[in-house]
Structure 1
Amino acid sequence: MPSGIYRSAKIVWDYHLLHQPLVKSDCLFVLCSNDIRVAEHAAQLFLQGYAPYIVFSGNVGDITQGLFPCSEAEHFANIARGMGVPNDCIYIEPLATNTGDNIIKTRLLLDAKQLNPQRFILVQKTFMERRTLATFEKQWPNKSALVTSPPLMFDEFANDVISYGDLVNVMVGDLQRIRYYPALGFSTEQTMPQSVWQAYQHLVAVGFDDHLSPDLPRD
């Protein structure tokens, strides 16, 4: 990766991370995806006693179509079971198709199970921490939440599932959503340093625009 692109990508990566210290909570809420490291991280947190149960939320998206033999939530739950999480401590929401939908449908699931957790630990991919928490704050404002992700550095993240190019494209798209979603009522406002937006503009200018929403401004 050319040094200028690397610098801009690292600025965006660092902005997405919140580095929140964790405290024991009522529920681990896992927003599922193609990255099974998120499932493993959530299972480790459960086994360390951070919450008494886990909710896995996620259907099948464009990226995970054909990747797993079932929904993202069911696949993640199977990973957690394999790591020692008891089945009766796992709840599965297999229908949600985006971050807001994860929250809305998980609310419905917990209501149906007559569960009323007050404090959540949101478990997400590393570069989606900020948008996940901002979405939760808007969609479930009377609850408390922290967000965490697998402890990976930018240089460690890419693997055989997601390349560095894919990673940068998705980070750029998430930054666009962080900037413009609050006006649409999807998430809370986030302070964004000018240096972060300049890094975004640089990455878009050199072609990292595959994950931009066509319904939102590009700049």
Structure 2
Amino acid sequence: MNDKFLNQITEFIFVEDKAEKSDMIFIPGSGFPQLAEEAAKLYHQGLAPYILPSGKYSILNGKFAGVQEKQELYDGEYETEWEFLKEVLKKNQVSEEHILREDKATYTYENAIYSRKVTDCLGMEIKKAILCCKPYHARRSLLYYQLLYPETQFFVRPIQDSDVKRENWYLTEKGIRLVFGEVQKIGEQFEDITKEMSME
């Protein structure tokens, strides 16, 4: 197996940082509770005073796709990803007044766009932020949030409870499909964005 080749892909897609004290924890929309559980853990460690989950539902589904794991713990009826993630945070003892709301986004770029609108409306200056996401979604999430928060220093904290992560993604068909799907999406989505930026 060509380790040097695999390492290049791994280092590009699987971003992971040591979290530092920040102004905000962002969660891109998801039906996986582990993202909000990780955010709650960081919140209780005193690493950020606020959490902003984002998401209506995937534009591909047209409705909330449902709780993807741990349905026995989170068995409510949820209309949006935000509503679900908020419930996970509350069940993990995050104070409701510290959970901000963004429930319009239907894909990752909108997660970042509408999150920026929320923090701007609240007059919040986000100098440092933590981003909780799935491991293979880390680079694309970071690119979008960094695009909308150009002055912010981000610390990416991918969840550990995932069957596709940096240590094993190349060992399964699912992992290979997801990772190269991310590579493809980054190329397709950021080509147009970069062209628009170069014309400004």
User: Paired residue for 2:98?
Assistant: 89
Structure-2 residue corresponding to 1:176: 184
Matched position secondary structure for 2:125:
coil
- Quick check: 2:16–2:158 contact (8 Å CA) kept in 1? no
Contact 1:138 1:185 (8 Å CA) reproduced: no
Instruction: Tell me the CA shift for residue 91 of structure 1.
Output: 0.5
Report the Cα distance in structure 2 between the residues aligned to 1:96 and 1:186, rounded to whole angstroms.
Answer: 21
Task: Report the 3-state secondary structure (helix = DSSP H, G, I; strand = E; otherwise coil) of the residue aligned with 2:111.
Answer: helix
1:70 aligns with 2:79: yes
Q: CA shift at 1:10, angstroms? A: 8.9
Amino acid at match of 1:42: A
Alpha-carbon deviations, 1:54-96, whole Å to 9, x = none? 0000111146634152211110111111111000100120111
Task: Verify: 1:109 aligned to 2:118, yes or no.
Answer: yes
Cα 1:116–1:156 change in 2 (3 A) is closer
Moved over 6 A (4+): 8-11
In structure 1, runs of 5+ residues without a counterpart are: 158-163, 188-219
Query: Is the Cα contact below 8 Å between 1:32 and 1:38 reproduced in 2?
Result: no
Gaps of 5+ in 2: 68-77, 167-171, 196-200
Shift of 1:179: 3.1
**Structure 2 partner of 1:203:** none
2:158 is matched with 149
- Within the alignment, does 1:24 sit opposite 2:33 as a pair? no
Count of aligned pairs between the two proteins: 177
C-alpha spacing 1:168/1:186, structure 2 compared with 1 (3 Å): farther
Q: Which moved more, 1:101-110 or 1:57-66?
A: 57-66
Per-residue CA deviations over 1:132-159 (Å, capped at 9, x if unaligned) read 11222223212221211112465689xx
CA 1:133–1:75 in 2, change beyond 3 Å: closer, same or farther?
same
1:140 paired residue number: 149
- How far the C-alpha of 1:12 sits from its partner, in A, is 4.7
Q: Deviations over 1:11-45 (max 9, x none)?
A: 75564212211111000011121211111111111
TM-score, normalising length: structure 1: 0.70
- TM-score, structure 2 as length reference: 0.76
Q: What CA distance in whole angstroms lies between the structure 2 residues aligned with 1:89 and 1:60?
A: 22
Percent identical residues: 23
Mapping of 1:112-123 within 5 angstroms? 112-123=121-132
The answer as to whether partners of 2:40 and 2:94 remain within 8 angstroms in 1 is yes
- In 2, the alpha carbon distance for the partners of 1:99 and 1:134 equals 10
Q: 1:77 to 1:166 in 2, by over 3 A?
A: farther
Relative to structure 1, the CA distance from residue 102 to residue 9 in structure 2 (aligned partners, 3 Å threshold; closer, same or farther) is same
Q: Once structures 1 and 2 are overlaid, which stretch shifts more, 135-144 or 72-81?
A: 135-144
